[in-house]
């Protein structure tokens, strides 16, 4: 049976998250409903990242299998028709080999977190950034972020309900940069623990506030204790930007 890959963009604000849940609208559920209406076939969708409620995506990747061949561009356009008026869009669709798996074939995932530290609240970006009504020290955050890069036990930055078998992860990148009024934090790894990015951002924000130092962040990491983590950053500022496959090239 033909297997298709989807590249997806969505505003996570109205969704209960990527994964189908007993109540509320999920991104996965919306996509599966659109496929069913378009093709007449039920298809389970597997995503590269199970984003939480309120988390956005510019480059989520998913795959599904259906019984009959469809032109990829018709799947894209037809799904977008049936997804209206929900804020989720299929950017592109293509055929992939039978052994492709959006989740398990991924070699890297790239996230970005956006912070808006200014006195005036956002209007256009209200549910798309973490608004902090004061300035914070991006330079101190950038210097402290280096402590977390590399292979570590990230128990401190792992949600209590995380289902991963091991807390060991290799964080390939954690950059803190300034863009006009915004501070953006880019994180890259093969895989992340549940709430890992938001937990790291929340702790880095304490550094930006001057409440923690780089050494405090290191001690929190080495504690391997969830209670040592700073407050978890809100979901609204987090974006799944892209997913890499194969030799590491971004798809």
**Domains of the chain with CATH codes:** 3-95 (3.30.70.580), 107-245 (3.30.70.660)
pLDDT (tens digit, 9 = 90+) per residue, 234-245?
Answer: 999 999 999 999
pLDDT score, position 125: 93
End-to-end CA distance of the chain: give it in Å, rounded: 23
pLDDT at site 179? 92
Q: Is the pLDDT of residue 163 over 90?
A: no
pLDDT surpasses 60 at 115: yes
Query: What confidence category does residue 247 fall into, taking pLDDT thresholds of 50, 70 and 90?
Result: low
Asked whether the predicted pLDDT for residue 41 surpasses 90, the reply is no
By annotation, the residues acting in catalysis are 52
Q: What is the pLDDT of residue 251?
A: 45
Q: What is the mean pLDDT of residues 106-131?
A: 96
Task: Write the pLDDT tens digit of every residue in 11-30.
Answer: 999 999 999 999 999 999 99
Band of residue 160 on the pLDDT scale cut at 50, 70, 90 = confident
Q: What span, in angstroms and rounded, lies between the C-alpha atoms of 132 and 112?
A: 17
């Amino acid at each position: 049976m033909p297997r298709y890959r989807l590249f997806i963009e969505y505003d996570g604000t109205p969704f209960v998250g990527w994964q189908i849940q007993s109540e509320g609208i999920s991104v996965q559920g919306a996509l599966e409903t659109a496929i069913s209406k378009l093709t007449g076939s039920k298809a389970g969708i597997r995503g590269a990242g199970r984003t939480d409620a309120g988390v956005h995506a510019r480059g989520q990747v998913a795959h599904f299998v259906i019984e009959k061949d469809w032109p990829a561009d018709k799947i894209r356009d037809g799904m977008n028709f049936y997804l209206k008026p929900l804020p989720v869009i299929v950017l592109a669709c293509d055929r992939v080999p039978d052994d492709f798996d959006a989740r398990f074939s991924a070699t890297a995932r790239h996230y970005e977190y956006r912070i808006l530290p200014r006195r005036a609240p956002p209007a256009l970006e209200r549910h798309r950034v973490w608004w902090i009504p004061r300035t914070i020290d991006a330079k101190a955050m950038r210097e402290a972020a280096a402590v977390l890069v590399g292979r570590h036990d990230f128990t401190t930055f792992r949600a209590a309900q995380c289902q991963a078998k091991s807390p060991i992860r290799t964080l390939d990148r954690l950059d803190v940069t300034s863009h006009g009024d915004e501070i953006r934090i880019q994180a890259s790894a093969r895989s992340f623990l549940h709430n890992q990015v938001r937990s790291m951002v929340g702790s880095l924000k304490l550094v930006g506030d001057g409440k923690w130092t780089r050494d405090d962040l290191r001690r929190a990491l080495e504690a391997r204790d969830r209670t040592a983590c700073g407050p978890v950053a809100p979901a609204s500022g987090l974006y799944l930007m892209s997913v890499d496959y194969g030799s590491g090239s971004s798809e």
